[in-house]
């Protein structure tokens, strides 16, 4: 079933320390955000992409979209101070579909096969996220003193895309704004309204490029895929 994609791309990439938006860095000779956009470009179910951007990147991004023949960007919307604000701005622009997928432009290794089950789960349940079982043991601490070891078998590392009925996503963002609540992902805004969010198992390759080491992992994933 068809959906629209909301791609927050308006960050500054401070932790990457590249001196510019990390999404403009190239891996395998292609800018990070173009890798991400290609997945949606090639998914026939995706009917439009809403890109939240920083106005200072607009010109460069427009040139790259043209160069790489990305045609599905329906609008470039000005991002906000935090990711949450960027998503909300772009979500308001989506229209005419029941379900939207919110996906970090900084996760270029998402694959098309994961989009359909996620979209389906959101259509049925209202909200769904991709996640992978946690590999590390997680402990809580007070300062440097451990207070609790969490039961790993029920812990998930949550990724994007996160899929929502548009009405649920907009309501959750509106309420969060009203309450001055800032979450680290979109699902948490829906969860705090007491609504169900379903987990769909994702892939360990679907990393978010955050710090410089992630570029090495990214190059390795590109190499693995090009050998297939
Ligand atoms: N993002 C956004 N608007 C913001 C902040 C982030 O659209 N105000 C986007 C980023 O461009 C990225 C995604 O949200 O695609 C995830 O954010 P993150 O990995 O934190 O990227 P940055 O905020 O750019 O990096 P940093 O936090 O290190 O500055
Ligand atoms: Mg950030």
CATH 3.90.550.10 fits 3-226, yes or no: yes
Q: 172 C-alpha to center of ligand 1: Å?
A: 20
123 pLDDT band (50/70/90 cuts)? very high
Query: In terms of Cα–Cα distance, which of 222, 93, 203 is closest to 159?
Result: 203
Q: 227 C-alpha to center of ligand 2: Å?
A: 32
Residue matched to tokens 């451990």: 146
Decide if pLDDT at 173 tops 90.
Answer: yes
- With a 6 Å cutoff on the Cβ, whether 11 touches ligand 1 is yes
- Burial bucket for residue 66 (CB in 10 Å: 0-12, 13-18, 19+): exposed
- Domain range list for the chain: 3-226
Share of residues in the chain with pLDDT > 90 (%): 98
Computed over every residue of the chain, the mean pLDDT equals 97
| Ligand with smallest separation from the Cα of 185 | 1
The count of other CB atoms within 10 Å of the CB of residue 139 is: 10
* pLDDT (0 to 100) of residue 132: 98
- C-alpha distances (whole Å) from 210 to each of 24, 55, 69, 105, 217 are 13, 21, 26, 11, 11
Report the pLDDT averaged over residues 141-158.
Answer: 97
* pLDDT (0 to 100) of residue 79: 98
Decide if pLDDT at 83 tops 90.
Answer: yes
Q: How many helices (H) and strands (E) does the chain have?
A: 7, 11
Segment 209-227, tens digit of pLDDT: 999 999 999 999 999 999 9
- With a 6 Å cutoff on the Cβ, whether 80 touches ligand 1 is yes
* pLDDT (0 to 100) of residue 106: 98
- H-run or E-run covering 188: helix 187-191
Q: Are 24 and 67 in contact (CB under 8 A)?
A: no
Segment 179-211, tens digit of pLDDT: 999 999 999 999 999 999 999 999 999 999 999
**Which residues are close to ligand 2, an ion, with C-beta < 5 A?**
11
- With a 6 Å cutoff on the Cβ, whether 13 touches ligand 1 is yes
Report the pLDDT averaged over residues 63-92.
Answer: 98
* pLDDT (0 to 100) of residue 146: 98
Decide if pLDDT at 96 tops 90.
Answer: no
Give the residue with greater pLDDT, 228 vs 15.
15
57 pLDDT band (50/70/90 cuts)? very high
Report the pLDDT averaged over residues 66-74.
Answer: 98
């Amino acid at each position: 079933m068809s959906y629209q994609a909301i791609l927050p791309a308006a960050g500054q990439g401070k932790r990457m320390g590249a001196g510019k938006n990390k999404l403009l860095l190239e891996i395998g000779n292609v800018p990070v955000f173009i890798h991400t956009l290609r997945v949606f470009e090639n998914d026939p179910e995706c009917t439009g992409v809403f890109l939240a951007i920083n106005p200072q990147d607009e010109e460069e991004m427009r040139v790259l979209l043209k160069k790489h023949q990305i045609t599905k960007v329906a609008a470039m919307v000005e991002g906000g101070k935090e990711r949450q604000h960027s998503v909300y701005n772009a979500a308001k622009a989506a229209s005419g579909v029941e379900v939207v997928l919110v996906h970090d432009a900084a996760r270029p290794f998402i694959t098309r096969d994961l989009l359909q089950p996620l979209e389906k789960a959101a259509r049925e349940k209202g909200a769904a996220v991709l996640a992978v079982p946690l590999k590390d043991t997680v402990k809580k601490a007070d300062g440097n003193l451990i207070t609790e070891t969490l039961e790993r078998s029920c812990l998930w590392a949550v990724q994007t895309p996160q899929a929502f009925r548009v009405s649920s996503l907009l309501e959750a963002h509106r309420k969060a704004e009203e309450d001055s609540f800032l979450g680290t992902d979109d699902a948490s805004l829906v969860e705090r309204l007491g609504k169900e969010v379903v987990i769909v198992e994702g892939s360990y390759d679907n990393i978010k490029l955050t710090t410089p080491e992630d570029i090495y992992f990214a190059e390795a994933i590109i190499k693995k895929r090009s050998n297939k």
